[in-house]
Amino acid sequence: MATKPTPRQQGGPAAPRGGTGSNVPAVRTAVAVLRRLAASPDPLPAAALARALDVPRSSMYHLLSVLVDEGLVVHLPERHRYGLGLGVFELGSAYLRHDPLEHLARPLLVRLVSQVGDTAHLAVLHGAELLYLLKVQPEHPTTLVTDVGVRLPAHLTASGRALLAHLPQEQVRALFPSKDSFPSRTGAGPRNLPELRSMLNTERRQGWAVEDGLVTPELASVAAPSFDHNGHPVASIAVPFRRTARPPETWPMLAQQVMATADALTRRLGGTPATERDVSQTP
């Protein structure tokens, strides 16, 4: 009886030893190495990485050698240190090209719109301005000044303040260095940094922000932030509406639905939802 040839004899790859999960610990360690290098302001020696990750030094050198070969890590021989390689940048650039926020958020916004019957937005900070990335509308939408690509002063919008409320105070101060940093559209809104900080403190504690006639007199909106795995506010979700259609006493209930959607996006981004964070703590 002829012996069945092995995959290697047939020219194919050999089966991994120990089953399909045998390399999982090595993969986890490789990811930990990349995250450790990403978090460090300077390249690190292999010995420091081995100690930090509780990995034998010989294993760390072998793992780093593989990562260097793949272009994910670069070796600096003169300094006996390792840093992130060009391959990591390429992966990050590919991630950004795929518009991950829009792809992850769109089905969540579609569901939110079906629940509340109003338009929903996804937006990010761009300096002291708010940039709208995504807009999902109901069958009969309200006419709005906001649209994809539109920028508005962040301090006037619920979406903008939902994000500003979770930034370090020094960063907020840098974004709004003077009274000239506070343009107004309707004559209302914060006019200086102390007024803005007072609003941000209140909105951070309650977990959501509200804008009432600061952009368009007859319109209001509520918004909540989404966070990445570092706890950084990366995007906000908002629902604008006509004030005549929703009396103020109903806004907190709407805000709970917006917060739930923002928390769902946070989970998709690998972060911790605001409802599980101490939102009253000052950044």
What's the token pair of residue 150?
A: 């539109």
Other C-beta atoms within 10 Å of 68: how many?
Answer: 15
Per-residue pLDDT of 272-282, as tens digits, reads 876 665 544 44
Helical ranges in 139-221 per DSSP H: 158-164, 169-175, 193-206
> What's the CA dihedral at 281, 168, 229, 153 to 10 degrees?
110
C-alpha angle with apex 153: 151 to 155, nearest 5 degrees?
140
Query: What per-residue string of b and e applies to 202-235 under the rule 16 or more CB within 10 Å gives b?
Result: ebbebbbbbbbebbbeebbbbbbbbbeeeeebbb
Of these ranges, 107-111, 180-184, 242-246, 277-281, the one predicted with the greatest mean pLDDT is 107-111
* 228 vs 10 pLDDT, higher one: 228
Q: Which residues pair with 129 in a beta bridge?
A: 126, 153
Is residue 64 scored above 80 in pLDDT? yes
3-class SS letters over 152-171: EEHHHCHHHHHHHCCCCHHH
Across 85-89, 127-131, 145-149, 164-168, least confident range: 145-149
pLDDT at 93: 61
pLDDT at 32: 92
Q: In what order do the strands lie in the sheet with 233-242?
A: 151-153, 129-136, 120-126, 233-242, 219-227, 209-212
Nearest to 105 by CA among 237, 274, 258: 237
Per-residue pLDDT of 66-122, as tens digits, reads 999 999 999 998 889 999 988 887 776 665 555 678 889 999 999 999 999 999 999
pLDDT at 278: 54
E strand or H helix at 64: helix 57-69
Q: Rg (Cα) of the chain, in Å, rounded?
A: 25
Query: Structure pTM?
Result: 0.65
